[in-house]
Structure formats: structure tokens, C-alpha cells
Amino acid sequence: MPVPYIRHASPDDEEALGRLDRDSWSPLHAVQPRPQPPYEPFFNERFGPPDHLVAELGGRIVGYVRLAYPTSLACNAHVRQIQGLAVAEEARGAGVGRALLRAVQDESRRQGARRITLRVLGHNTPARRLYESEGFVVEGVLPEEFYLDGRYVDDVLMGRSL
């Protein structure tokens, strides 16, 4: 199986990442409504290229992960939070998600973080299995936090030490 190449994002990735994000939209993972034109830019004031790692296969971007601080507090600066992870549908099941998750943990360690956390919807089985298999554990559940696609869905808080 080809090994994905993981690198930091660059401003030139705007279009490819915006398209990937829109094409992979699903109520399985998204809490925002399906994007409609005119589309918001992928990079913005809060999240720029340095906050993203991208995965390439055959020179094409097939996935990304967004890494952020959970808050702007100095006393919380030892923690990083994954605030977005997506793999293009046609590239799923080939280890791209796992490669991105490992890379983002390495990047967090490189930045000196001690912990990494994330939030995942209770019904998102593929993502939950992936996170569990990489050592993340459930640290909290907000029951029925979201009403999506006609039903209430839990918000699951996961994390691990680095």
C-alpha cells in the first residue's frame, strides 16, 4: 500500500483543502450545515497553513488534520487539540487517517505539549475506532449535545498523554 507523504500545509493548498472539506462533508462528523456557495475560505484568521498537516498520495492532497490550542490561556498551553481531521472518501481505508494522527501527535510533542485532546460525535464509529487504536480514551461525554439529521447525538471528549 502506498505510504502517504505528510507535510505542513502551505497557502497554495487553499483550493484543494476547501474542496476536500466540502466533498467530505457528512452529518457523521460535521456540526455545521452542508456548505453552500459562496464558500468560506478554508484558511482564516483563526486557522492558517501552519495549523494544518496535509497528507499527499501521488502528489495529490487526500487528507488533513488541524491542530490548535484548546484555549488561549497560558495555564492550558501544554495541551493541544485536534480540531479537524478528514480524508477524501476515495482514499479512505488505506492508512491515511492513521498517518495524519501519528504525525499530529509527533508535531504536538515537538511543540512541547504533554496532552492532546479532541471531540468526536458519538455516532462516528470510523473516527472513534481510529482514535482508540492510537491510544486515545474517552474522558467525558456530553449526552445528546447536538441535534443532527433528525436525532440527538453525543459529543465525546477523548484525549491521551503524549
Ligand X SMILES: CC(C)(COP(=O)(O)OP(=O)(O)OC[C@H]1O[C@@H](n2cnc3c(N)ncnc32)[C@H](O)[C@@H]1OP(=O)(O)O)[C@@H](O)C(=O)NCCC(=O)NCCS
Which residues of this protein are in contact with ligand X, per CB under 6 A? 24, 28-29, 85-87, 92-98, 120, 124-127, 129-130, 133
Closest approach of ligand X to the CB of residue 120, in Å: 4
Closest approach of ligand X to the CB of residue 62, in Å: 8
Closest approach of ligand X to the CB of residue 25, in Å: 9
Is the bond preceding residue 38 a cis peptide, omega within 30 degrees?
A: yes
Contact 52, 66 (CB under 8 A): yes
Report the residue number, 78 or 98, with the smaller CB distance to ligand X. 98
**What is the 3-class SS of 51-116, one letter each residue?**
HEEEEEECCEEEEEEEEECCCCCHHHCCEEEEEEEEECHHHCCCCHHHHHHHHHHHHHHHCCCCEE
Report the residue number, 70 or 126, with the smaller CB distance to ligand X. 126
Report the residue number, 7 or 29, with the smaller CB distance to ligand X. 29
